[in-house]
Structure 1
Amino acid sequence: MEVFMKINEVIRKHRKEKNMTQEEMANRLGVTAPAVNKWESGASMPDISLLAPIARLLNVSLDELLSFKEELSEIEVSSIIKEIYEMFDTEPIETVYQRILEVTKEYPNAESLLLSLIGIFNSRCVILGVDKNEEYDKWIQGSYQNLLFSHDEEIRVGAADGLYALYIRKEMYEDAERCLRYFSAKDPDRKRKLATIYYGKGQYEEAYKTLEAEVLANYQTMSVMLLEIFMVAVKTENFEKAQVIIEKESALAELFEMGEYHKNAGKLELAVALKDSKETLRLLDCLLSTTNTVMDYTKSKLFEHMTFQEVNPTIFQTLRVNTLKHFSEDDTYKFVRESEGWEAFEKKWMTA
């Protein structure tokens, strides 16, 4: 929530800027120095009849003197927003617009409130088909641009997001691209926005590459998150949940055409967690037989516009060797080595 300068801080700030003592100010206003001291300390407020003389003495407008209020509570912000929404149902859009202007003048530093009001008004203009009104567009654009100078990063990003959408709708792609500098390079939505700009400018190849790279990155993120959930489930011995999660992780790999190896890797982890030696050997055999599918996604139509490094075939043999060594030496898999099927399995793969 935005914090506003209080009237006592406004008086103290401007008095000091004029190199005026509290006593000098008191003499000019016909009050006592202790009265001025109480105003500046926040112990009391000036009488309403003194507001105009104080504003003239400090060379500020009454709006400036009075508009710096204490921060609005969330309830107050919600109340204002609710009022605006209700007005849209009962009043002409011009009346709502004028009310929003009044609110923004009354609370000029309430940046989060202003950001919400701009977004609400802009959306309603689009819905009602009046988004081509030059006055409204100018206000929306100007208000967003002003908020780009906020000290609050969240406000700046919100304003940039609003401006980006406005520029995209108006097919102002160069302006839209400039908005992207307000977004972190790690923002998952930044590349999608860039792809939209590429598409709008007719740079379809670049749009494809950008979107496909994001699809692949999102798959990898979702897969890792599911495996993390799986590990938590195993740690808490919630094997029913662990099985559900691994089935979904496998289905995800199939959906994104990751290849047989990726479809079964998680299932092997589940079999190990359950100490199911028979299923572990079956899945391990499956993985060793399909190591050459690890990079199958590079052949998928999903990612056909992406450029991948050529894979050295020896990587598949290295993967098989390391996997076998892991199962042959790690104590975690002792239950597998002691199982009935291990000897035949070992004979098959150790001599392969």
Structure 2
Amino acid sequence: MDIGSVIKKYRKEAGLTQEEMAKRLGVTTPAVNKWENGNSKPDIELIAPIARLLNISIDTLFSFREKLSNHEIEAIMRKMDKMFSEDGYEKTYEWILELINEYPNCNMLIWQAAVMLDAGRITDKCNNPEKYDKQINAWYEMALHDENEEIQHHAAESLFGFYLRKKDYIQAEKYLNYFSEHDPMKKFYHGRLYHDQGKNEEAFEKYESMIFSGFSTLNMVLSMMTRLALQEDDIGYATFLSEKVQAISQVLEMGKYNEYSPMLDIVCAKKDVEETYNVVKQLFENIDTMYDFRKSVLYKHMKFRDFDESVFDKVKEKLIESFRNGEEFSYMTGYEPWERLICNG
């Protein structure tokens, strides 16, 4: 906020009109109006009289800003942490209250200060935690409407945690609406909400669905990294990544087919005839395990859609077609076991 905005803010708080302020300072009303509109600045000799008239310090007159840098906020947080130990919760709260009044539009400061005070009030640092609920939550609400999505997200997370601790589940769920449907943490917090309400079946379902979708994300990312490594002819790294996909598939019980499939790109890149044959043979033999996760206890609370088992035959047909006609498998031509495999399927 520039000096004109500061003058306007504190003039109004002092209950002065522009005309009254102008008379006391010995200047014209249009001059005050120009200061406040940012069209001009007061002369240097008027700075001290303006500060005295508005009952503010010269530092406040010049340094009232909307934002603080990340470095400044980090320094404030360190000072807060030190004050908790040396001066106690009450004095720390009063100090940060004054600071936020000085920087009322710095939502990053407001949110981080609220988080620290929130953490302090649920420990032995605060003797009367409920005394501060209204103000801390008001700060969270301010941060919730910031244009920065990260600040909004953190504020919603903090408010969700507060109302969850209070067992006000309706209010807690309200703040989950600030999370994207694609944000996995929304499922996690829904799981916590159900857990705290004793709705264990629903909680399990949310947690299990996070594991399931987490596998899909990891599988996709590691597979793309594998292809990138192969493009760079780094077969060692690509093999390492594919083995990670195999391990994850095994741990998360995704079925034998999903354990073997990551190695197909590797054996193909190496043009290893015997290994290619072995991998493809395992794929054919385990096609019907593609949906074995449906049988896993790990996902026993999830509800999966019914599927037509004829899908296995269709997958097999497509695999055979790609092995027969794909140029990348031309190095297998003439290998008798391979010919029999792709002919017999």
TM above 0.5: yes
Picking from 214, 221, 227, the partner of 1:225 is 221
- Asked if the contact 2:249/2:255 (under 8 Å) is kept, the reply is yes
- Asked if the contact 2:141/2:155 (under 8 Å) is kept, the reply is yes
Alpha-carbon deviation of 1:186?
1.5
For 1:185, the equivalent position in structure 2 comes to 181
Deviates more, 1:191-200 or 1:86-95: 86-95
For 1:47, the equivalent position in structure 2 comes to 47
Please give the residue correspondences for 1:258-297 in structure 2 after superposition, counting only pairs within 5 Å.
258-297=254-293
- Asked if the contact 2:108/2:143 (under 8 Å) is kept, the reply is no
Please give the residue correspondences for 1:6-155 in structure 2 after superposition, counting only pairs within 5 Å.
6-11=2-7, 26=22, 29-31=25-27, 36=32, 37=34, 40-41=38-39, 43-44=41-42, 46-51=46-51, 53=53, 68-69=64-65, 71-128=67-124, 130=126, 133-155=129-151
Structure 2 CA distance for partners of 1:351 and 1:156, relative to 1, 3 Å: closer
Deviates more, 1:293-302 or 1:148-157: 148-157
Q: Report the AA paired with residue 254 of structure 1.
A: Q
- Are 1:307 and 2:272 an aligned pair? no
Q: Report the AA paired with residue 84 of structure 1.
A: M
Alpha-carbon deviation of 1:142?
2.7
Encode CA deviations 1:208-266: one digit per residue, 9 max, x unaligned. Answer: 21211111000110111111111111111111111111111100000000111000101
Picking from 191, 195, 199, the partner of 1:199 is 195
Structure 2 CA distance for partners of 1:282 and 1:273, relative to 1, 3 Å: same
Encode CA deviations 1:118-157: one digit per residue, 9 max, x unaligned. Answer: 1112113323364862212333223223333334433322
Residues in 2 aligned to 1:14 and 1:131: alpha-carbon distance in whole angstroms: 35
Q: Report the AA paired with residue 291 of structure 2.
A: M
Structure 2 CA distance for partners of 1:122 and 1:131, relative to 1, 3 Å: farther
Residues in 2 aligned to 1:122 and 1:150: alpha-carbon distance in whole angstroms: 19
For 2:15, the equivalent position in structure 1 comes to none
Residues in 1 aligned to 2:75 and 2:126: alpha-carbon distance in whole angstroms: 26
- Asked if the contact 2:254/2:290 (under 8 Å) is kept, the reply is yes
Q: Report the AA paired with residue 149 of structure 1.
A: H
Alpha-carbon deviation of 1:27?
5.9
Superposition CA RMSD, Å:
3.1
- Asked if the contact 1:226/1:246 (under 8 Å) is kept, the reply is yes
- Asked if the contact 1:231/1:242 (under 8 Å) is kept, the reply is yes
- Asked if the contact 2:256/2:286 (under 8 Å) is kept, the reply is yes
Residues in 2 aligned to 1:12 and 1:107: alpha-carbon distance in whole angstroms: 16
Structure 2 residue matching 1:309: 3-state secondary structure: coil
Structure 1 residue matching 2:302: 3-state secondary structure: coil
Alpha-carbon deviation of 1:29?
3.9
Residues in 2 aligned to 1:155 and 1:250: alpha-carbon distance in whole angstroms: 38
For 1:247, the equivalent position in structure 2 comes to 243
Structure 2 CA distance for partners of 1:93 and 1:281, relative to 1, 3 Å: same
Structure 2 residue matching 1:47: 3-state secondary structure: helix
Structure 2 residue matching 1:258: 3-state secondary structure: coil
For 1:19, the equivalent position in structure 2 comes to none
Q: How many residues align?
A: 335
- Asked if the contact 1:227/1:266 (under 8 Å) is kept, the reply is yes
Structure 2 CA distance for partners of 1:271 and 1:131, relative to 1, 3 Å: farther
- Asked if the contact 1:131/1:137 (under 8 Å) is kept, the reply is no
Deviates more, 1:29-38 or 1:230-239: 29-38
For 1:351, the equivalent position in structure 2 comes to 344
Residues in 1 aligned to 2:101 and 2:6: alpha-carbon distance in whole angstroms: 17
Alpha-carbon deviation of 1:345?
2.6
Structure 2 CA distance for partners of 1:230 and 1:132, relative to 1, 3 Å: farther
What is the identity percentage for the equivalent residue pairs of Structure 1 and Structure 2? 30
Residues in 2 aligned to 1:146 and 1:318: alpha-carbon distance in whole angstroms: 55
Structure 2 residue matching 1:128: 3-state secondary structure: coil
Encode CA deviations 1:35-70: one digit per residue, 9 max, x unaligned. Answer: 6546734555642212465x59xxxxx9x9888425
Structure number with the bigger relative contact order (C-alpha 8 A, sep ≥ 6) is: 1
Encode CA deviations 1:184-212: one digit per residue, 9 max, x unaligned. Answer: 11111011111111111122221121211
For 1:160, the equivalent position in structure 2 comes to 156
Picking from 326, 330, 339, the partner of 2:326 is 330
Please give the residue correspondences for 1:165-176 in structure 2 after superposition, counting only pairs within 5 Å.
165-176=161-172
Deviates more, 1:248-257 or 1:130-139: 130-139
Residues in 1 aligned to 2:237 and 2:333: alpha-carbon distance in whole angstroms: 27
Encode CA deviations 1:86-110: one digit per residue, 9 max, x unaligned. Answer: 1123222222122122212222222
Q: Report the AA paired with residue 269 of structure 2.
A: A
Structure 2 residue matching 1:308: 3-state secondary structure: coil
